[in-house]
A and B are shown apart, each in its own frame.
Chain A
Amino acid sequence: MIQDNYSLTEEQIKHFEVFGFLVRRNVFTTDEVAKMNEEFDSRRAVLLEGTDPEEKRFFDNWPNRNPETPFISSLLDDPRIYQHSEQLVGEDSVPVHSNANSYSQDSGWHPDRTDHNICTIKNVMYLQPTTADRGALRVIPSSHKNPLHKDLLRIGLRGFKENDSQFLKKSGLCGADIPCYIFESNPGDIITFYEWTWHAAFGGYKDRRTCTFNFYRNPKETDEIAAMQLEVKNYAEETRTLGTVGLQFHPTWLENPDHYPRRERWINWLKEWGFIQAQYK
């Protein structure tokens, strides 16, 4: 059942703070998920046509904010995405990345971010059912915070590909042996986690699909501001490394034809920090 009020309870917020992630079930309906998959199908087909099949890529991904995927693009303006995000990282937080991702393999253990001067959260929705053996996201509770966050780095667990993890290599363990919470999900469920939180997925298969919506906390302290400036500086290079195809901030989205005040605030912030200009570099 879809709840009318999308606010998180105090208990849910506390859970997120302590464990570094939060699960919400049945956030989107079956019909809505079907629409997302339809848009995903057509957009992926178009993009793959223009891609060199021999090119080695981690995974196919493209920004959601474009006129070819109008429903997915509209989700950032949907309270089911922004309302809890604002509760978790601030009313003045901003969605910097929003992507569709098509994976074709496992994702080994990693945090998306290790610099604690930038606070970002990621909302992930899988467009297919997931289980432990078939692509479910795994998270290590409380690994967004030290000492666990740093301990996992120190022991050498990190490796986007399993073979890259020094700890797994030396111990003879596989990624699935690492103790964690497994987010088995149905399309329409959403997991939100701090990008510092360690996560992985095993049992990958071709065209394993997610839509992601990342919100950044507005930086206030000197160290946070410096870290955000560095983030902007590295933005174009990071996007190239990830192989993201297309503009993150499409001109149509920037036009804000419905004059949403929230989106207008986001656009002003993105311009102020230089993210929009950075996507053309």
Chain B
Amino acid sequence: MSMLTEQQITFFNTFGFIILRKVFSDEELAIMDDEFETSLKTIQGERPDNEVPKHFNWSNLGPETPFLSLLPEDPRICETAEQLFGEHVIAVSSNSNRRVGNTHWHTDQSHPHSYGLKFAAYLQPLNSDNGAFRVIPGSHKQPFNDKLKHIEMHSSEITVPYYSCDSAPGDIVIFNFATWHSSFGGSTNRRMCTIDFYKNPETPEEVEGTYDQVIVDEKVYAKLRAYGSGFHPHWLANPQNSPRRQRWIDWLRKYGFVKSEEA
């Protein structure tokens, strides 16, 4: 059964994002909260100052977070990604993120020929004033996407027109990496789980973009001071022999996202 209707796919392709409501049940949210909290405490305990940076994230692919580690393979997630970006999409990360304060306007696309999409599940209710995901609809497409790089987004003279993706726990916001987004007014403890998928490259430019993405990902990982390895050996061992996961792992190795020492 298809996860998204034809109209939902049209909406995503037109506006560069979509909100899916009540994807996770209350029971699942309780598990997600619990795994998030446990991981955060463990990480805080291991840090010398017992504190974590303003923007902090860690991989959910370890055995300590069994529910979250399986989310990329959850049909509600991976089949939706396949509908949007083709059956050969690759799950490249599954993270928990703890954010403090504002995230200014930006895109997640690092190379013009590298395409991806992000699933974001916020663990708290959010609206425009307390950190909800803000998006500029349609900004994933050219030439609009590039033009936004050349205008002043933080001027008092103008207001950046945006749409606020107000959400409740259980909802998922899916957006194209190229879509401009931000978040303002967030608390000191904004929590979200994210899963990223890359489109399988099909042209020489896209292949180049994918290799470029490997370098960028390493830099971003270092900048965000992410905790631990992105790809836990337990996940790479693929104990359930999932064919889909094995395809992802093979692809991640081929392009260098997984280094030989991690295998």
Binds B, one of A102-110, A145-153, A238-246: A145-153
- Is A11's beta carbon under 8 Å from chain B? yes
Q: A151 with B14: in contact, given A11-B158, A12-B157 (CB under 8 Å)?
A: yes
Q: A140 with B144: in contact, given A14-B151, A151-B14 (CB under 8 Å)?
A: no
- Is B141's beta carbon under 8 Å from chain A? yes
Residues of B within 8 A of A252 (CB): none
Per the bound structure, the CA–CA distance linking A15 and B150 in Å amounts to: 10
Q: A170 with B7: in contact, given A11-B157, A12-B157, A148-B14 (CB under 8 Å)?
A: yes
Q: How far is the CB of B55 from chain A (nearest CB, A)?
A: 26
Binds A, one of B97-105, B130-138, B235-243: B130-138
Counted as pairs of residues, one from A and one from B, with CB atoms less than 8 Å apart, the total is 69
Q: How far is the CB of A201 from chain B (nearest CB, A)?
A: 16
Kindly report which residue of chain A lies nearest to residue B145, judged by CB atoms. A142
Q: A171 with B8: in contact, given A18-B148, A155-B14 (CB under 8 Å)?
A: yes
- Is A5's beta carbon under 8 Å from chain B? no
B138–A140 touching, CB < 8 Å: yes
Residues of B within 8 A of A172 (CB): 7
* Residue from A140, A142, A155, A167 whose CB has the most chain B CB atoms within 10 Å: A142
Residues of A within 8 A of B163 (CB): 179-181
For the complex, count residues of B whose C-beta is within 8 A of A. Answer: 29
Kindly report which residue of chain B lies nearest to residue A145, judged by CB atoms. B144
Per the bound structure, the CA–CA distance linking A77 and B157 in Å amounts to: 26
Residues of A within 8 A of B161 (CB): 19, 21, 139, 141, 180-181
Residues of B within 8 A of A173 (CB): 7, 11
B138–A148 touching, CB < 8 Å: yes
Q: Which of A11, A21, A148, A167 contacts B7 (CB 8 A)?
A: A167
Residues of A within 8 A of B189 (CB): none
* Interface size grouping (class) on chain A: 20 to 34
Kindly report which residue of chain B lies nearest to residue A25, judged by CB atoms. B159
- Is B10's beta carbon under 8 Å from chain A? yes
Q: Which of A18, A140, A155 contacts B10 (CB 8 A)?
A: A155
Kindly report which residue of chain A lies nearest to residue B163, judged by CB atoms. A179
Q: How far is the CB of A136 from chain B (nearest CB, A)?
A: 13
Q: A148 with B152: in contact, given A15-B158, A141-B136, A171-B5 (CB under 8 Å)?
A: no
Q: How far is the CB of B28 from chain A (nearest CB, A)?
A: 25
- Is A93's beta carbon under 8 Å from chain B? no
Per the bound structure, the CA–CA distance linking A21 and B158 in Å amounts to: 11
Residues of B within 8 A of A155 (CB): 10, 14
A141–B14 touching, CB < 8 Å: no
- Is B162's beta carbon under 8 Å from chain A? yes
Q: Which of B10, B138, B139, B155 contacts A167 (CB 8 A)?
A: B10
- Is B85's beta carbon under 8 Å from chain A? no
Q: A148 with B141: in contact, given A15-B151, A171-B11, A179-B15 (CB under 8 Å)?
A: yes
B158–A12 touching, CB < 8 Å: yes
A179–B135 touching, CB < 8 Å: yes
- In the complex, besides A12-B158, A171-B10, 4 extra interface pairs with C-beta distance below 8 angstroms are A9-B157, A141-B136, A142-B139, A142-B144
Question: What are 8 pairs between A and B in contact, CB < 8 Å?
Answer: A15-B151, A15-B158, A18-B148, A140-B137, A155-B10, A155-B14, A173-B11, A181-B161
Across the A-B interface, give the 7 residue pairs with the lowest CB-CB distance, nearest first: A181-B161, A171-B7, A179-B163, A179-B137, A141-B161, A148-B138, A142-B144
